[in-house]
Amino acid sequence: MKIENSSAALETVKFDDWIARAFLWATMIWGLVGMLVGLLIATQLIDWRLNFDLPWLTFGRLRPLHTNAVIFAFAANSFFAACYYSTQRLLKTRMYSDLMSRIHFWGWQLIIVAAAISFPIGWTQGREYAELIWPIDMAVTIIWVIFTVNFLLTLWIRREKHIYVAIWFYIASILAIAMLHVVNNIQLPVSWTLSYSVYAGAQDALVQWWYGHNAVGFLLTTPFLGMMYYFLPKAADRPIFSYRLSIIHFWALVFIYIWAGPHHLYYSALPEWLQSLGMVFSIMLWAPSWGGMLNGLYTLRGAWHKVREEPILKFFVAAVTAYGMSTFEGPLLSIKAVNKISHFTDWTIAHVHVGALGWVGFMTFGMIYYLIPKLWKRPIYSRSLANAHFWIGLIGILLYAVPLWIAGVTQALMWLAMDDQGALVYPDFMETVKSIMPMYYLRAIGGSLFIIGVLIMLYNFLRSIAGVKCSELVDTEIKAAHFSTVKPEDQISELFDKEGKPKASFWKQVHRLIEGWPLVFSAIALMALMVGGLVQIVPMILVQASAPKDIIVRPYTGLELLGRDIYIREGCYNCHSQQVRPILEEAKRYGPASKAYEYMYDHPFQWGSKRTGPDLHRVGGKYPDLWHYRHLEDPRSVSANSLMPPYPWLLTANLDISNLETRLKVLKKLGVPYRDQDIEFAKEDLEKQALEFSGRLNKDGGVKNSEKKEIVALIVYLQRLGKDAQSDSVLKLGESQ
């Protein structure tokens, strides 16, 4: 159909298909890497020897590698692939800037490599899914800004007036993640690889889980809902069941999600009203989430026979169903009474993986199988293999989740079991661990099956694209008319002639490419200003308010602080919590409930979210120094069924005190009341405390010359935990905060 009006003339538009292919490669490769790390750490829980006695391979250092890889390498690259592919087609325009697209791609992959190197070394911030050290955080911010600007400018030059619902999901994801990343990662550097979070203790916990749950929402949910709204109808050749519903549930989701964060902090030192608020919003979240699930499933009305034939649709149906399950389980777990049982157990892990493997994983695989023919112009090599991938992966998910549901509830009930006299039935934590070992075996098998499915997919993919020549991979071309608000000179088609050769001179292309950069630089400058401003303002707000009346808590000494930083470096929070809940059974097992003021100088907080090992917040003074020494040297020498890896290097490595004053100065800036003499005589005080300790250790256990070793710092820190609630360092006890 020819349109005579010149402002609506049909033009040739070429989509950038290279960028979609690139992100798909990255998704598959990093997916495999992230999942293999996951399998390794799962087997480490079964057999501690798989830590190989190496600091770089301990569970504590590798778990963050797994979580970050699957979230920021696998899921994020999958999101980017979906976004770049579908946005161009939905808006009928090429991305605004190919250069920005490529910087986004390569920059992001470099960030992932940096993460993969930094985590085993022990460079970490010690905050879940936000472990990246500050230089890498900066890189993430810059790349994200470039992505955002490119995306928004592409929206600006679009030829399709209507913004399809999938694009709305992408917009929400991009804007929310920018905000979350910046706010959560405000920190003051001590060195290139160490920094202290501006927030402390309970405040830090709040910000961290405000971020953490929104990261789930806006990186693992909304982008994949956008993906679903594009790829599911396309694969089924069916329109979305209710477009109206998609708009409504999108907005409901976006407005409700942000307030759900406190559901990670029930029975903690977080104020009660805030916990209740989080619970209410988390339960409300059920409705818009199921709106998405129902919309997706109902779209297949009249097309269920296709699901029988087509692996892609099998993946999508299972994914949407898994989404429904997770978004039912989530609100369920957000009920305080349920959370009392589930928190710190493997039930949380099961919940995560139904969403991660079922929703995120299967949506991604379905998208990959759909895109291989579209982007590489070859059919899938083997439909049977794709079907096999589906069934093997599905069994993998079931073998992952079901054992962990059982393990979670079993362990929780054992922790809570009390007899008629009010004594714990299972006072020995290790008994509860022993009882769930069979489930850990099954989980590892489930995870392995899931990975086997991924390997089948990779084989299928490589066979499908074998023999494809680069010259065949030309960009998809369409004819489209723009609507009147888009000026002709903004359109890419101006730069190409009929044969696809660039029409314009080199300089015009350069001009075209750099047009967006002032916006990028303005955005980066704005980010920098925001961050700088926040770093100034936030401590002021937090410090004044966090010092409660009548309570004085002694800050960590230099030696204790270095010990704490070692605790963070080794990732102890991945297995040990520091948060005794105001629950009777917990008081019996660990001691008095943890109070907010006890954490007031904890930069960052280390409450943890899983008890693979026991809670440590009241461990101070419970065991003699020698016990800790032996326990860290070889856990099984003092604790028979322990899963914990040995930490022999702590006994031999010398404590690095070179930047001790800097650490104390930074903390002082953040409001920790170190006096000038604390900082001036920091090294002397440290040596004195270390010598006292090593003297005791020698007397009790014959351990000689330990005073310069890292283990001294760590044990001294552990022996400090929980002491602030007793008369030791509290000079005057008042009301709790």
Q: How far is residue 430's CA from residue 505's CA, in Å, rounded to a whole number?
A: 72
Closest CB 534 distance from other proteins, rounded Å: 8
Closest CB 666 distance from other proteins, rounded Å: 19
Bridge partners for 418 per DSSP: 424
Closest CB 290 distance from other proteins, rounded Å: 20
Closest CB 479 distance from other proteins, rounded Å: 6
Residues near other proteins (CB under 8 A) are: 12, 89-90, 92, 162-165, 171-172, 175-176, 179, 183, 199, 202-204, 206-207, 210, 230, 233-234, 237-240, 243-244, 247, 251, 254-255, 258-259, 261, 270-271, 274, 474, 476-480, 534, 538, 541-542, 544-546
Picking from 64, 45, 53, 54, the residue whose alpha carbon sits closest to that of residue 642 is 45
Contact predicate 268/307, CB 8 Å: no
Query: Angle between the 383-416 and 437-465 helix axes, to the nearest 10 degrees?
Result: 160
Contact predicate 269/596, CB 8 Å: yes
Closest CB 178 distance from other proteins, rounded Å: 9
Closest CB 502 distance from other proteins, rounded Å: 18
Closest CB 398 distance from other proteins, rounded Å: 33
Which is nearer to other proteins, 176 or 667 (by Cβ)?
Answer: 176
Which is nearer to other proteins, 210 or 647 (by Cβ)?
Answer: 210
Percent of residues in the chain assigned helix, strand, coil, to nearest 5: 65, 5, 30
Q: How far is residue 309's CA from residue 306's CA, in Å, rounded to a whole number?
A: 5
Which is nearer to other proteins, 260 or 439 (by Cβ)?
Answer: 260
Q: Are strands 10-14 and 195-197 parallel, antiparallel or unpaired?
A: unpaired
Which is nearer to other proteins, 175 or 398 (by Cβ)?
Answer: 175
Query: Angle between the 222-236 and 243-257 helix axes, to the nearest 10 degrees?
Result: 160
Residue 400 per-residue DSSP state:
H
Please state, in angstroms and as integers, the Cα–Cα distance from residue 559 to each residue in 312, 340, 600, 622, 665, following that order: 57, 36, 18, 20, 15
In the three-class reduction of DSSP (H, G, I as helix; E, B as strand; rest coil), residue 424 is classed as strand
Closest CB 210 distance from other proteins, rounded Å: 5
Which is nearer to other proteins, 205 or 712 (by Cβ)?
Answer: 205
Contact predicate 291/319, CB 8 Å: no
Report which residue type is found at 735: E
Query: Angle between the 165-184 and 243-257 helix axes, to the nearest 10 degrees?
Result: 10
Q: Are strands 195-197 and 477-481 parallel, antiparallel or unpaired?
A: unpaired
Which is nearer to other proteins, 451 or 531 (by Cβ)?
Answer: 531
Which is nearer to other proteins, 234 or 636 (by Cβ)?
Answer: 234
Which is nearer to other proteins, 533 or 734 (by Cβ)?
Answer: 533
Which is nearer to other proteins, 285 or 715 (by Cβ)?
Answer: 285
Please state, in angstroms and as integers, the Cα–Cα distance from residue 482 to each residue in 8, 166, 493, following that order: 6, 20, 11
Bridge partners for 14 per DSSP: 477
* CB atoms closer than 10 angstroms to residue 548: 16
Closest CB 129 distance from other proteins, rounded Å: 16
Closest CB 558 distance from other proteins, rounded Å: 27
Which is nearer to other proteins, 205 or 520 (by Cβ)?
Answer: 205
Which is nearer to other proteins, 432 or 546 (by Cβ)?
Answer: 546
Closest CB 542 distance from other proteins, rounded Å: 5
Q: How far is residue 197's CA from residue 206's CA, in Å, rounded to a whole number?
A: 13
Q: How far is residue 112's CA from residue 65's CA, in Å, rounded to a whole number?
A: 10
Contact predicate 326/334, CB 8 Å: no
Q: How far is residue 216's CA from residue 326's CA, in Å, rounded to a whole number?
A: 12
Closest CB 92 distance from other proteins, rounded Å: 8
Bridge partners for 187 per DSSP: 197
Q: How far is residue 567's CA from residue 571's CA, in Å, rounded to a whole number?
A: 6
Which is nearer to other proteins, 175 or 626 (by Cβ)?
Answer: 175
